[in-house]
Amino acid sequence: MPVKILTEHINVPGINTFEVYRKMGGYTAVEKALKTMTPDEIVEEVKKSGVRGRGGAGFPMGMKWSFLAKPEGVPRYLVCNADESEPGTFKDHYLMKNNPHLLIEGMIVSSFALGANKSFIYVRGELMYVIHILEKAIAEAKAAGLLGKNILGSGYDLELVVQPGGGAYICGEETALLESLEGKRGNPRNKPPFPAVKGLYQCPTVVNNVESIANTPWIVNNGGEAYAALGVGRSTGTKLISVSGHVNKPGVYEIPLGITVEDFIYADEWCGGIRPGHHLKAVVAGGSSVPILPANLILTLANGDKRLMTYESLSDGGFATGTMLGSGGFIVMDETTCIVRNTLTFARFYHHESCGQCSPCREGTGWMDKVLDRIEHGKGNMRDIDLLVDVAKKIEGNTICPLGDAAAWPVSAAIRHFRHEFEWHVTHPLEATKPGAVYRGEMELV
């Protein structure tokens, strides 16, 4: 059995209560950290672990922590990003609702390491029921002396606040999240300055994803080296993968980084294969914003090797033949999927979620949505396909925050790999607009 860092106890009945969590060995990392380690030692262990941010960008967590500015007399903040809204991603939701204490333990350990005395968990507002679960868990931890003043007699104080969002994907972008937490519109900030220097309330701030933080108790307990020993190369540890779409067993899986994509899709331990009678057509491997890949490219690299579930292997080949691990939102499509239709829902999503601050994203996302909508509804022409590619190119890299890129990539990748489907919609408008119609021409299925 592969090592489970985050989900080992997730199915233990009552794991969401303090007693059971404690009985299963919970909060030992808080004891170890506060009683036997200095903050810098914890940062050191996290660095050694090589764990990379699990929110999407994959930035090494220890390095981010060591960038935190520490001016005298200025508070520092840790903010946990639980805004989880990237289509295809629901792992943080799964983790928090089932095992809230794991996140809280991670928040205590991480806040101590960063010298933060007030930390926030920003949860998307739709998950209000999860907010109640977290608040209950916090109250239990506080009653047990693990939060509040002078935790375990160490002299360290910590208050945890759970903050609800209000329905805005963009608040997952870390500076938009901070704006939102300050009670403002979720408009991302121009960077620099980075949050590590000027974050929440203009104070030095670290923003980390739920899953990133949930790894820290294990790292404190077992050491960074033990963590780094798991996985492959610079993809250390385990990763939660949210699986949706046409597999036999959609859900959340904790995988050791380094298994093959093929195993992940077809092994009974994980997705259990494509639903009976159907074939794999395409995969979006890391949340809606990463490039879609056709079956052959997601399973194998250009050199014929099997593609692995790691940061490096998934991005092998660049955007020409590769994609990204992203947030681990693994969306699987069989041959019944219309790529144009699916791309349209993504384009519509980014159009809907653009904050509207900068002109390329505000105008460009709406434009792509409308053109795709026309093509999907049999009212497109060939020129529109190149227009889409060009609009995506004009957005990409020119915006305040990466939402612009996230909106551009799915469109350009879908056209890159499935251009014939777009053309078919243009040349066969009557056929393409029948309910459930899917391009069945030349296509490689697995």
Ligand X SMILES: Cc1cc2nc3c(=O)[nH]c(=O)nc-3n(C[C@H](O)[C@H](O)[C@H](O)COP(=O)(O)O)c2cc1C
User: Which residues of this chain interact with ligand X, rule CB under 6 A?
Assistant: 53-57, 59, 81, 83-86, 170, 172-174, 207-209, 212, 401-403, 406
∠ Cα 30 31 32 (to 5°): 95
Is there a contact between 195 and 207 (Cβ–Cβ < 8 Å)?
yes
Pick what 196 binds: another protein, ligand SF4, ligand X, none; C-beta below 5 to 8 Å, kind-dependent.
Answer: none
Q: Is 241 in the site for ligand SF4 (CB under 6 A)?
A: no
Which of residues 53, 62, 88, 188 is near ligand SF4 by CB under 6 A? 188
Q: Quick one: which segment of 39-47, 184-192, 232-240, 418-426 binds another protein (CB under 8 A)? A: 184-192
At 340 the three-state DSSP class reads: helix
Binders of another protein in range 276-295 (CB under 8 A) = 288
User: Please, which residues have CB within 8 angstroms of residue 217's CB and are 6 or more apart in sequence?
Assistant: 26, 28, 29, 30, 102, 105, 106, 109
Shortest Å, Cβ 265 to ligand X: 24
∠ Cα 31 55 205 (to 5°): 60
Binding pattern to another protein, positions 4-43, x when CB under 8 A? ----------------------------------------
Residue closer to another protein by CB (options 233, 397) is: 397
Which of residues 127, 168, 401, 415 is near ligand SF4 by CB under 6 A? 401
Shortest Å, Cβ 245 to another protein: 5
Count of positions (residues) in the chain: 446
Shortest Å, Cβ 327 to ligand X: 7
Shortest Å, Cβ 38 to ligand X: 23
Q: Is 171 in the site for ligand SF4 (CB under 6 A)?
A: no
- DSSP-derived letter for residue 196 is T
Q: Is 182 in the site for another protein (CB under 8 A)?
A: yes
Pick what 53 binds: ligand X, ligand SF4, another protein, none; C-beta below 5 to 8 Å, kind-dependent.
Answer: ligand X
Binding pattern to another protein, positions 323-362, x when CB under 8 A? ------x-x-x---x---xx--xx-xx-xxxxxxxxxx-x
Pick what 174 binds: ligand SF4, ligand X, another protein, none; C-beta below 5 to 8 Å, kind-dependent.
Answer: ligand X
Binders of another protein in range 119-138 (CB under 8 A) = 124-129, 132
Q: Is 85 in the site for another protein (CB under 8 A)?
A: yes
**Tokens for 173?**
């972008």
C-alpha pair distances (Å), 376 with each of 174, 333, 370, 380, 384: 34, 18, 10, 8, 12
C-alpha pair distances (Å), 77 with each of 71, 113, 325: 13, 11, 28
Shortest Å, Cβ 344 to another protein: 9
Task: Return the bridge partners of 275, or none.
Answer: none
Shortest Å, Cβ 35 to another protein: 28
C-alpha pair distances (Å), 127 with each of 164, 394, 413: 8, 35, 31
Neighbours of 150 (CB within 10 A): 10
User: Please, which residues have CB within 8 angstroms of residue 258's CB and are 6 or more apart in sequence?
Assistant: 231, 232, 235, 308, 309, 310
At 6 the three-state DSSP class reads: coil
Look at strands 231-232 and 205-209 and give their pairing.
unpaired
Which of residues 289, 321, 327, 399 is near ligand SF4 by CB under 6 A? 399
Which of residues 404, 411, 414, 417 is near ligand SF4 by CB under 6 A? 404
